[in-house]
Amino acid sequence: MDYIFIDIMAKKKKTRFSSKSKQITTHKILEEIIRVDHAGEYGATRIYDGQIAVFGKNTKIGKTIKHMADQEQEHIDKFNELILEHRIRPTALLPLWNVAGFALGASTALLGEKAAMACTVAVEKVIGEHYQEQLDLLKDDHKDLKKTISKFRDDELEHHDIGIDHDAESAPGYRIMSKVIEFGCKTAIAISKKV
Ligand SMILES: [Fe+2]
Ligand SMILES: [Fe+2]
């Protein structure tokens, strides 16, 4: 009897201690976060490359896209650093995202400015939500990474709003196109975490 009582008290103490102790992000989660974000930012630079290839960077729409592309470049530069710093293997699918990203950007741009912006809205919506989920997953042992992701999330949401302000929603076939692109992005995210 005494033994059981002591055992319960010991467990209670342990629970109390662990709830107060610092929470740690597992390496698996950190690895998946950095790998998928690196892949996503790379894909984003390629989407905007494809759109700029069609519109040219000196047109009015080209300059707006260039502003977003420059921010994507900052994002990928940062994840290039993080992938080295944490010694994380990049996704094996970078060559695929290279081609698929460019093709998505160029093909939507060929459909017109509103379609290009509809692509931006769909992609940035998924990425913005994805970054928010990561902020909820990361513990306080990665405060700097949380700060980075939170800044990038705000940039992505700004890109989303730029798309809306440029009449993305009145692009022909907007609803179906958004659904297809959102589904594609979510699938790419799920694969790039692991592969
Ligand atoms: Fe980005
Ligand atoms: Fe973006």
Q: Are 160 and 154 in contact (CB under 8 A)?
A: no
How confident is the model over 137-187, as pLDDT tens digits?
Answer: 998 889 999 999 999 999 999 999 999 999 999 999 999 999 999 999 999
pLDDT of residue 189 exceeding 80: yes
What sections of the chain are H helices per DSSP?
A: 2-20, 27-55, 60-85, 94-110, 113-137, 143-165, 174-194
Q: What pLDDT is attached to residue 23?
A: 82
Every domain of the chain and the residues it spans: 29-194
Report CA(176)–ligand 2 centroid distance (Å). Answer: 21
Q: What pLDDT is attached to residue 8?
A: 47
Residues 6+ apart with CB under 8 A from 46: 97, 98, 99, 100, 101, 102, 105
pLDDT class for 10, splitting at 50, 70, 90?
A: low
- The CATH fold of domain 29-194: Ferritin (1.20.1260)
Report CA(106)–ligand 2 centroid distance (Å). Answer: 16
Report CA(102)–ligand 2 centroid distance (Å). Answer: 14
How confident is the model over 108-144, as pLDDT tens digits?
Answer: 999 999 999 999 999 999 999 999 999 999 988 899 9
How confident is the model over 59-114, as pLDDT tens digits?
Answer: 999 999 999 999 999 999 999 999 999 999 999 999 999 999 999 999 999 999 99
Is 178 in a helix, a strand, or coil?
Answer: helix
Report CA(6)–ligand 1 centroid distance (Å). Answer: 54
Two tokens, residue 58: 């000196």
Q: Are 84 and 38 in contact (CB under 8 A)?
A: no
Using the 8-state DSSP alphabet, how is residue 138 labeled? -
